[in-house]
Structure 1
Amino acid sequence: MARPFLRGIARRAAGSVAAVLLTAASWTAVGSGIAAGEGPAAATAPDGSYIERVDRVDDRRSDVSVYSAAMRRTVRLAVVAPARPAGPRPVLYLLNGAEDGLFPDGTEVSWLTRTDIRDFTAGKDVTLVDVLDGRYTYYTDWVADDPVLGRNRWTTFLTAELPPLIDAAFDGNGRNAIAGVSMSATSALALAEAAPGLYRGVGSFSGCAQTGTDPGRRYVQAVVLSGGGNPWNMWGADGAPAWTDRDPSADANLAKLRGTELVVTAGDPAAPGRADGAPTSPPGRGLEAAVADCTRELAARLDTDGIAATVRYLPGGQHAWPYWQQAVREAWPALARALGR
C-alpha cells in the first residue's frame, strides 16, 4: 500500500504524442467467456500494441490485458463502464501509488478497492481505466532497462499506445482526464505535459512535483530504490539533464498545462479535521506535511506563470486513501468539465 511505503520514503528522503491510427478492429472473442459479437473490439495499433484479453468480472467491470509494444510486455488494467452507457463517452484514467496495484496472489490495492469511485461515477456516463501495473516506475519513459523493474516506457504507453485502444474497444469519444496519488500524482502532471490536449483534466493528489530539485528529487530516488530498481536507469545519473527536463514543475513544462482543468491537493495535518474512514492515529502526517510544502511551491509557480489551477489543502490530511477519495470528489466538477460532463 502507499501509506506504509511512503513512511519509508520520509525516512530515506531526509538523508509529441505519436499519432496512433487503429488498423484493425473486429468483434471477435478477446477474453474468457466473451463470445463473438458480444465483447469489446479486439484492436491492434500499427506499432503492434493490442488488447490481449478481456475478462468480464461483473456487469460493469472488465479486467483487461494490453500488450505494449514499447515495453514488450502485458499491462493489466481494470475498466469500469458506467451503469447506463449512452453512446461514446469520455475516459478517466486512474494511476495508483508506488506500492499499489494487482499483486501475484490476487490482492488488489487500487482506486477501485480503496475508494468509492466506482459507485460515485456510476451515473456519470464516464469510463474508468485503473492501471494496475507500474509500481515504483513513476509512469515515465526510462532511459535504460532495469534488472528488477524491467523495460519502462510508460509515457509512450499512456499517451500513444493505450488511449486509442481503449477508445476503440470501450466506446471512448476521445476526451480524457487523468488522476494520480502519491507517486503517480507527479506522473499525472508529467503525462498531461508530455501530450498537451490528450488529458484535458488532471487530478494530482498528495504528490511532490519537483523532480529536478531537492527534496523532490530524493523522494523519487527513494521510491525507485524501495522497489529494488536503480534510479539512474530512470533519467540517468544524479544531476543528468533529464532530471530537470522532465520536472513537471519547471516553467517550460507547466506552460503545457495552460487550458487544462487542473486540481492539486495535499493534506494540511495542522488543520483540524479527518476524512471518513481515516485512521485516528495517522502514520502519514509527517510525510503529508512535506507533500504540502511541495504543493505550496507548485502553487506559487502556477500563480507566477498565470496558469489556472484549483489548489486545496485538506484539513487533517494524511497520506492515505480516505483523503484521496475526498480529493477526487472535490476535484470532480473540474474533471467533469474537462470530460464534457
Structure 2
Amino acid sequence: MPFGRPGMSEAVSALQGSTRRGWGARLFTAGVAALAIPFAATVTAPHAAVAAPVSGPAYRTPAGGYEELMVPSSMGPIKVQVQWARNGGSRAVYLLDGLRARDDNNAWAFETNTKQQFENDDVTLVMPVGGESSWYADWMSASNTNGQKFTYKWETFLTEELPDFLAGYGVSRTDNAVVGLSMSGPAALRLAAFYPHQFRHASSFSGPLNLTAPGMPEAVRMMMLSAGRFNKDSLAAPSSPQWLRMDPFVFAPQLRGVPMYISAATGAPGQFDRPNSAMAVFDTANAIWIEALAMVGTRALQARLNQLNIPAVYDLPASGTHSWKYWEAQLWNARPHILSALGA
C-alpha cells in the first residue's frame, strides 16, 4: 500500500487506601489468569480501497466511505482503518482494540456494527490495527521473550505520528474522542488525561482500571505472556513511574474536566450469552470471571473519582460478560455523550 503524507505524586499515596484492600483485591488476584482468554471470532474484513498519497493542502477529508491507510511510524508502517466523516467534518473517534489485537483488522471493524452506528454522523472513525499486549503505551525496550524486532511506541503513534498524518486528510489534531475496551480501557483514559488538548472525551468499557491493585502487576504479566509471549518488564519496570503512569487509579486527578463514559458489568450471563457447545460454555465461564474482575477495578476507580469530586457517566449493568456484543451495546449508549463532547 502506498503511504500518504506524514504530515503522581499525591495520587500514589492513595493507592494504599481502603478501596485497594479486601475481597475486591483478592478477587482480582484469584481469577486474573482468565483475563488472557480471547473472544474475537475470525471474520474476514470487507475489501477496502487504499488511500492515494496526499500531496496537496490540508483539509481534504473525503466525505463518507471506508479506507485503509498505511501510516509511517517508528514501529514501521501501521495499518489504520478509517470511516470518513459523512460530510467531510474534521472531528474523529479513535477506537482502540483489546489484548489480542490482530495484525490484519481492528476488531471494532468486524466484531461490532460500529461503522453503521456512526455512518450518518459527521465524525471520522479511526481504528488502528495491531498492538497485541501493548497497552497502547511507549515501552522501554522491545520484548525479549518473543523475539520482537522493534520497541512498541503506541502512545507516540496515537498522539503524534497518526494525528500528524491524518491532518493531511483534514482530521483535526484536537477535536477527537478515544474509546477503549478491556486492555485499552485504561489506555483511553490515560490518553485523555495526559493529552486533553487532543482528546475531548474518553470511554472505557470493561477495562482493568486499577492496575496497581494487589496482584494486578503479576496478573498483567501472565496476560501478556499468554497473548503473544510479551515481557511486561520490557513495558515498564515494577512499581516504576512509567508503570504508575498507566494506572487510572493513580492519574485520576488528571481526569478532571475530561468527559468520560465508564462501564463494566457484574459478569452474570445476560442477553448475548447463549453458549451452544462445550467450547462456548468454557468461553462464557471465562467471560464471567473477566467481567467480574473488570467490575471490581471499575468500582475502585469510581470511588476514587467520587473522592476527588470528578464526575463521569457510569453504566454498571447487573448482567453482562466480557464479550463484543456487550461492548457494541455500550458504544451505542456512549455515542450521544461522544458526539456531545465533540460538538458533532
Task: Tell whether the structures are fold-level matches, with TM greater than 0.5.
Answer: yes
Specify whether residues 111 and 13 from structure 1 end up closer, same or farther in structure 2 by C-alpha distance, changes over 3 A only: closer
My pick for the range that moved more, 166-175 or 125-134, is 166-175
Q: Distance in 2 between matches of 1:209 and 1:133?
A: 22
- 2:96 corresponds to: 95
1:124 aligns to what SS in structure 2?
A: coil
Report the Cα offset of residue 234 of structure 1. 0.5
Matches within 5 A, 1:68-147: 68-69=73-74, 71=75, 73-82=76-85, 84-85=86-87, 87-103=88-104, 108=105, 110-147=107-144
Report the Cα offset of residue 228 of structure 1. 1.0
Specify whether residues 305 and 240 from structure 1 end up closer, same or farther in structure 2 by C-alpha distance, changes over 3 A only: same
User: Quick check: 1:40–1:169 contact (8 Å CA) kept in 2?
Assistant: no
Report the Cα offset of residue 42 of structure 1. 4.9
Q: Tell whether 2:66 aligns with 1:61.
A: yes
Q: Distance in 1 between matches of 2:159 and 2:113?
A: 26
- 2:249 corresponds to: 249
Q: Distance in 1 between matches of 2:219 and 2:177?
A: 25
Report the Cα offset of residue 334 of structure 1. 1.3
Q: Distance in 1 between matches of 2:66 and 2:49?
A: 14
Q: Deviations over 1:91-115 (max 9, x none)?
A: 0000011113334xxxx35101011
User: Quick check: 1:167–1:174 contact (8 Å CA) kept in 2?
Assistant: no
User: Quick check: 1:77–1:133 contact (8 Å CA) kept in 2?
Assistant: no
What is the RMSD of the two structures over their aligned residues, measured on CA atoms? 2.7
Q: Distance in 2 between matches of 1:221 and 1:248?
A: 18
User: Quick check: 2:114–2:328 contact (8 Å CA) kept in 1?
Assistant: yes
Q: Distance in 1 between matches of 2:109 and 2:50?
A: 23
Structure 1: runs of 5 or more not aligned: 1-7, 15-30, 45-55
Report the Cα offset of residue 175 of structure 1. 0.5
Identity in percent: 29
Q: Distance in 2 between matches of 1:268 and 1:32?
A: 41
Report the Cα offset of residue 177 of structure 1. 0.3
Q: Which has the higher helix share?
A: 2
- 1:167 corresponds to: 167
1:41 counterpart (41, 54, 63): 54
Structure 2: runs of 5 or more not aligned: 1-29, 37-47, 276-280
User: Quick check: 2:267–2:321 contact (8 Å CA) kept in 1?
Assistant: yes
- 2:330 corresponds to: 327
Amino acid in structure 2 at the alignment position of 1:328:
L
